[in-house]
Amino acid sequence: MAGDRIPVLVGCTASGKSAAAIAFALRNTGVEIVNGDSRQLYRGMDIGTAKPGTEERALVPHHLLDIADPDTLLSAGWYARTAKETLGEILARGGLPLIVGGSALYLMALTGMTDPLPSRNDDLRSALTGLETSSPGALYRILRSLDPDTAVAHTDLVRILRALEICLESGSRATDLRQGGNVSDSFVFVMLESEPAILRARIDERVDRMVKDGLLAEVEGLSAAGYGREPVLGHTIGYREILDHMDGLCSLEEAVTAIKTNTWRYARRQRNMFKRLPGLLRAGSPEAAAALLDGRGANGQGQ
């Protein structure tokens, strides 16, 4: 590994990150994997998130898996704080943490690329949403009075709601708090990538395997346990489409096709986000990625 920086392995969904991570761990002493996928944080969401299985966890210690039930939304800010604590604990006992995941926003928050903003407040959001329902346009008018610069930049309700939440929770203007982050130099980023045609084929194969392994039964079980679309399942590819099928909005075949299409679109967004990571190294195979992570790779290249 280059210097003493903490390695971060990123890649689009279905790119083979788990295989690369295990390969790196098996040839380096004391490696412990820290999850960097926002949906693998949740209990019960195993098949649809391609969560590491018992065999992988037996080979290498894994952290930040199965942290919460899917009726609680864990924010990027929460992840950043918790992951930093986990990294500190691993380093304190002489281990080597390896962060693995594809949730760019969460990884950017961890590595200082985003500003430390207040966490989501569901009670406040509910109150603000109720106000907007009873008086359309009220939230924009309030934001315009509290933070006119942000109000000019954001016209959609989701962003207005978040800007108001920041203002009311922090007592400061969102404009003043959003300064572009303070990127830490404690991390080295390696991206595992594939040719688009190969990646799309891998995505299709993965989705078919998820369905074969029981994705429908997994979502049915979560629904039977009382978990609805909000705040997590309905915003997660694979679960959202199966819920549509369960609600009679589409056939299972249509749901599977939608999962493949939406996953491919998400993968392209992931790739664009990863390009923003500082000093990004690229690898075309799990073996090359593992070699780059410990400084022995010659097949990757900087951004």
Digit-coded pLDDT (tens) for 184-218: 788 999 999 999 999 999 999 999 999 999 999 99
Q: What is the mean pLDDT of residues 18-35?
A: 93
Q: What is the mean pLDDT of residues 113-139?
A: 85
Its CATH architecture, for the domain 6-114+181-302, is: 3-Layer(aba) Sandwich (3.40)
For residue 109, the model assigns a pLDDT of 87
Q: What does pTM read for this prediction?
A: 0.81
Which residues of the chain does CATH 1.10.20.140 include?
122-177
Which residues of the chain does CATH 3.40.50.300 include?
6-114+181-302
Give dist(CA 185, CA 111) in Å, integer.
8
Pick from 234, 244, 232, 240: nearest CA to 122: 232
Question: Is residue 1 pLDDT above 50, yes or no?
Answer: no
Strand pairing category for 6-11 and 96-101: parallel
Strand pairing category for 281-283 and 301-302: antiparallel
Is the CB of residue 164 less than 8 Å from the CB of residue 128? Answer: yes
Cα torsion 40, 45, 47, 48 to 10°: value is -80
Q: What is the mean pLDDT of residues 123-146?
A: 91
Both tokens of 146, joined, read 């509290």
Task: Give 99's strand partners.
Answer: 8, 34
Is the CB of residue 9 less than 8 Å from the CB of residue 203? Answer: no
Total length of the chain: 303
CATH 3.40.50.920 is the classification of domain 122-177: no
Q: At what angle do helices 215-224 and 239-246 cross, to 10 degrees?
A: 70
